[in-house]
Amino acid sequence: MELTDNVEMDKLLEDFGDEAEAGAGAELRPEPAPARPRRDMSQMMRKIPVTVTLEVGAARVSLQDLMELGQDSVLELDTIAGEPLVIKVNGTPIGRAEVVVAGENYGLKVVELTDLDLGTLAP
Residues 24-80 pLDDT 10s: 555 566 777 777 777 666 777 778 898 999 999 999 999 999 999 999 999 999 999
d(CA 123, CA 118): 10
Any idea which fold 41-121 has? Surface presentation of antigens (SPOA) (2.30.330)
pTM passes above 0.75: no
Would you list the domain boundaries of the chain?
Answer: 41-121
Residues 4-38 pLDDT 10s: 556 666 666 666 655 555 555 555 667 777 777 77
- Band of the pLDDT at 3, cuts 50, 70, 90? very low
d(CA 100, CA 91): 21
d(CA 92, CA 121): 7
